[in-house]
Structure 1
Amino acid sequence: MMEYDGVQSKKAPSPPSAMKKVVDYIAGEIYGGRLKAGDRLPTEAELCAMLQISRTPVREALKFLESQTVLRTKQGSGTFVADPGEISISMPLNFKIKLEGISWGEIVDFRNQMEFLVLRDAIQNATDEDIQHLEEINSHLLVVRKMKPVPVSEAQNLELLFHDELLKLTNNRLLQEMYRISSEIFNPVIAKLYNYTAEGIDDTEWPLSHTYFLEALRKRDIFLAYQVSLNLIPVKKFESFLGHTQYTPDAIKTNSGFEN
């Protein structure tokens, strides 16, 4: 028998499986509703006793879950389950996209499909006042885009505001989260579009897509929404621009150009 921090075990799990045991336990507590946002986790010693493992895999598991933004540590207070708004699921996906060599074309196609899902739900939920609010944002954006030189930060923020307000109309939190992930992945392209015009591509046409969104909303026309989203970003015509924009996870945070 082997002893770990006063806890006896017939056979110590290997380090990877021991760490996974802790991760799985905490995940199970969250999924089962026994741990909720803001709840304090058991101490390291308590986790060691409950799971019959040493402190090392417990610490590694807690650090791993903290790096994934599932947990947060308060100095002197302990480790807590993060609030939903603090949890990011996009960065692991971003690295997976890069490592698997997923193309910009696939990313663009995914973005277009997400746009349709958002439009579909917004059509069902939007009031006339909601549509008017979106029209006001779009009108402001069109004015800004005609300025010489274009105030890039203002244009980008209006672009982001339009899509955020449209997204709220879905009343679907999971769809909202998935769309925000697609936005983080795609932001480098949008930022580049607002900084220069690539050969053969007139970026001033992009805000017009909002006009098509609004037409589909006003008409409550899901088929039109599908047609708009299907042709929103012409991948083949866009290839020369995509060649100038390299996808990297860091680009999402450092090169997106969007201001909070």
Structure 2
Amino acid sequence: MPQSLKRTSLTDQATEAIIELIAERNLRAGDRLPASGELATMLDVSVPVVREAVAGLAAIGLLERQQGRETTIATPDSSHLSRLFSLRVLGAEIDDEELQQFREIVEVGNARLAARNRTTETLASLEQAMGDLAGATTADELHGADVAFHAAVARAADNDLCELTLGALEPLLARLRRRVWGGWVTQGGGFTAILDAHRAVLDAVREGDEPSAAEAMSAHLAQARVGLEESIRRGDQPVDPRAGFPAH
């Protein structure tokens, strides 16, 4: 049981104590949290302090509050982590180079795990995403299919934290993808090379070849790096949304 709180910063301490209580009681999504008055007695703090702590935990998705109902345990999703990432990128002035570096670490690891842990179901999702990617005819269609493909790789990795992290990064990666594609097309790159790189990832995952899956994803992300560096060099010149695609 959490100990009574006597020091300063009571709201922060109450927040940590509630998290500790959730863990100690093994509470799961949908389980009821003790009422504010009960928590205040347990922690030897005021009800307003408890309510402030509960509000903070609800804001990060750990608790769910509804008017007139008991507060229950919730499971934070990628949207909560996404807001944190976005604020951190803004506040710390993290640039696209750093974002690209982080993407390389996460996605190469995802590909390796996907080759190890893929299932019939997750392979089917990858195949579907690959088909959608092959059918893209504009930059927007390409970006949408690319998001689906990389999300499918993360699901095939069968590691909740991998999928959560990639999902949380997606709003930031959407902007990065557009910048990368513009640079890739500007320096003479095209759709076919991008498609082939994705196929190489899929083939390695299907075969369960972990080193090849990691190598294929690394090679694909090297394409993204080329596009990013060209975009930076040439100042983000706009490109035609159908540029880089084969003529139909």
Same fold (TM over 0.5): yes
Mapped to 2, the partners of 1:92 and 1:225 lie a distance apart of 30
Mapped to 2, the partners of 1:59 and 1:203 lie a distance apart of 55
Change (3 A) 1:129 1:84: closer
> What's the secondary structure of 2:220's corresponding residue?
coil
Contact 2:184-2:227 at 8 Å conserved across structures: no
Residue 153 of structure 2 corresponds to residue 163 of structure 1: no
Residue 77 of structure 2 corresponds to residue 89 of structure 1: no
Aligned residues between the structures:
229
Change (3 A) 1:156 1:198: closer
* Equivalent position of 2:10 in the other structure: 18
> What's the secondary structure of 1:78's corresponding residue?
coil
Change (3 A) 1:201 1:101: farther
* Equivalent position of 1:177 in the other structure: 164
Residue 51 of structure 2 corresponds to residue 64 of structure 1: no
Work out which of the residue numbers 219, 228, 242 in structure 2 matches 1:238: 228
Mapped to 1, the partners of 2:119 and 2:48 lie a distance apart of 55
Mapped to 2, the partners of 1:212 and 1:54 lie a distance apart of 59
Mapped to 2, the partners of 1:44 and 1:131 lie a distance apart of 47
Change (3 A) 1:181 1:121: same
Change (3 A) 1:237 1:166: closer
Amino acid at match of 2:162: L
* Equivalent position of 2:112 in the other structure: 120
Contact 1:112-1:232 at 8 Å conserved across structures: no
Residue 212 of structure 2 corresponds to residue 200 of structure 1: no
* Equivalent position of 2:242 in the other structure: none
Change (3 A) 1:109 1:70: same
Report Cα offsets for 1:188-219 as digits up to 9, x if no partner: 22255678976326463434331121232244
Across the aligned residues of Structure 1 and Structure 2, the Cα RMSD in angstroms comes to 3.3
Shifted more, 57-66 versus 218-227: the winner is 218-227
Amino acid at match of 1:56: P
Amino acid at match of 1:166: V
> What's the secondary structure of 2:221's corresponding residue?
coil
Mapped to 1, the partners of 2:213 and 2:202 lie a distance apart of 9
Give me the TM-score of the superposition, normalised by structure 2: 0.75
Higher normalized helix content (fraction of residues): 2
> What's the secondary structure of 2:71's corresponding residue?
strand
Mapped to 1, the partners of 2:25 and 2:99 lie a distance apart of 34
> What's the secondary structure of 1:42's corresponding residue?
coil
Shift of 1:187: 2.3
> What's the secondary structure of 2:89's corresponding residue?
helix
Using the aligned pairs only, state the percent identity.
24
Give me the TM-score of the superposition, normalised by structure 1: 0.72
Contact 2:184-2:228 at 8 Å conserved across structures: no
Tell me, which stretches of 5 or more residues in structure 2 are unaligned?
238-248
Contact 1:37-1:81 at 8 Å conserved across structures: yes
